Amino acid sequence: MNGTGARLVAPGREAAAIVGWLALTIGSAAVVLWGLDAVPRLFTGDSRGVQRVRTIEAAERALGERLFLPAYFPDTLVWPPASILVLRRPVPAVAVVFGREQADGGLICYQARGARATIPMALMPAGQVLVETPVEMPEGEARLVRLQSADGAIVNDLIWFLGDRTLGLRYDGPAEELLTIARSLRQRRP
What range does the domain containing 167 cover?
50-187
Phi, psi of 68 (to 5 degrees): -95, 130
Percent of the chain with pLDDT over 70: 74
Q: Can you give the pTM of this predicted structure? A: 0.70
Same domain? 38 vs 108: no
Same domain? 84 vs 132: yes
Percent of the chain with pLDDT over 90: 34
Same domain? 31 vs 81: no
Measure the N-to-C terminal CA separation of the chain; round to a whole number of Å. Answer: 81
Same domain? 60 vs 122: yes
In terms of phi and psi (left: phi > 0; alpha: psi -120 to 50; beta: otherwise), the region of 152 is left
Total of domains in the chain: 2
Same domain? 62 vs 38: no
CA distance 97 to 169: 10
Give tens-digit pLDDT for 63-97.
888 999 999 988 888 888 999 999 887 778 899 99
